[in-house]
Structure 1
């Protein structure tokens, strides 16, 4: 979290302007595994919502070409096991007669 690129310009209407290189650095810092967006934003003195905005812009390509594409993970697909055949329900105390379509109850 170096401040080497933390050059901020303030315009007439008190809006802070950050260079694209600085935004890219902060965004890439926030995308490291286990990094907290809130913590990275706080370390750089910006609002977490601003960092979310920059991340969206970064993914869209507003800060130049993205150096690293999505990470693909190897996947192994195993054959699904065949489920056991269901047995028909048993007649309890003679209350029903089993047929191929299910129990039929007598009155």
Structure 2
């Protein structure tokens, strides 16, 4: 995604990046021997934003469009 493809929000100067794009950049930032500053510069982003996206990805907050949805398992409690 380039800067031309992002959507501009109602707030002046604040782009809304697609969650899939955020996840892609965050995954790239997690790789070893990757400079987050250089990665951010290559994508035209602020390095602090990339660090934030990486933290969110590691915390499981960046979803994969439902591909990593939470799976609930049935639980039965023993009766007394």
Output the TM-score relative to the length of structure 2.
0.68
After TM superposition, the structure 1 = structure 2 runs for residues 1-107 of structure 1, keeping only pairs within 5 Å, are 3=1, 7-14=5-12, 15-64=14-63, 65=68
* Partners of 1:7 and 1:19 within 8 A in 2: no
Question: C-alpha offsets along residues 5-56 of structure 1, whole Å, 9 cap, x if unaligned?
Answer: x731111212101011000111111112100000000000110000011111
Query: Which has more helix, going by share of residues?
Result: 2
Q: Which has the larger radius of gyration?
A: 1
- Unpaired runs of 5+ residues, structure 2, are 69-80
The one of the two structures with greater contact order (alpha-carbon pairs below 8 A, sep at least 6) is: 2
* Partners of 2:9 and 2:15 within 8 A in 1: yes
* Partners of 1:7 and 1:18 within 8 A in 2: no
Output the TM-score relative to the length of structure 1.
0.52
CA RMSD of aligned residues (A): 1.7
Q: Secondary structure at the match of 2:52?
A: helix
* Partners of 2:6 and 2:17 within 8 A in 1: yes
Task: Give the length in aligned residue pairs.
Answer: 62
Query: Which has more strand, going by share of residues?
Result: 1
Runs of 4+ in 1 over 3 A off after TM superposition: none
Q: Secondary structure at the match of 1:43?
A: helix
